[in-house]
Amino acid sequence: MNSVEFCLDNATVASTEDGFVVRENIYTRTPTVGYDLDLIYVECRFCGKPVLWEKGNTSLLLRASGVDVSQLDAECLILSEGCPQCLPGTSPFHLSVVRIASITPQDILLLSESKGRA
C-alpha cells in the first residue's frame, strides 16, 4: 500500500489509497465561524502543481496542527516541500501556511535597488 505523509506543525497526516488519516498529535479546537478552510489552495513549492485531496482534509490538517485558523483567509495558501508528482516515493512532505502579500510597482522598484555590500 502506497502512503504519502504531510507534516504541518505538530500534525502528521497520511494520505493512503484508502483515504486520509491523522497519524500523530491531533487535538480538537472549537471550530471558528468564518473562512472555509477547505478553500485554501495547496501547492507544491518545487513544481508549482496543486496538491489535491478530498474535501474536508485541509480543515482537518489545519485544526490538527494547532494553527490559529481564525487568522486564515483568502490571502493564505499552503506550500508543500515537494509532492508525489515531482518527488515520487518520497515522504513525508512538510507543509507551511503562508500569507500572500500584494506588491505594488513602487515596492518592486525598492526591492530592485541594491542595498548594502554583504
Q: For residue 39, what pLDDT is reported?
A: 92
Domain ranges of the chain: 3-112
Per-residue confidence (pLDDT) for residue 110, from 0 to 100: 78
pLDDT of residue 28: 47
Give the pLDDT of the chain (118 residues) as one tens digit per residue.
567 777 776 677 777 776 666 655 545 444 455 789 999 999 999 999 999 888 888 988 888 888 888 889 989 999 999 998 999 988 889 999 999 887 788 877 777 766 666 5
Strand partners, 80: 44, 95
Give the other-Cβ count within 10 Å of 78's Cβ. Answer: 21
Q: Are 25 and 64 a contacting pair, CB within 8 Å?
A: yes
The predicted model scores a pTM of 0.65
What gap in Å lies between CA 6 and CA 83, rounded to an integer? Answer: 9
Burial class, 62, CB count within 10 angstroms (exposed 0-12 / middle 13-18 / buried 19+): buried
Measured CA distances, 5 to 13, 23, 88, 93 (Å): 6, 9, 12, 6
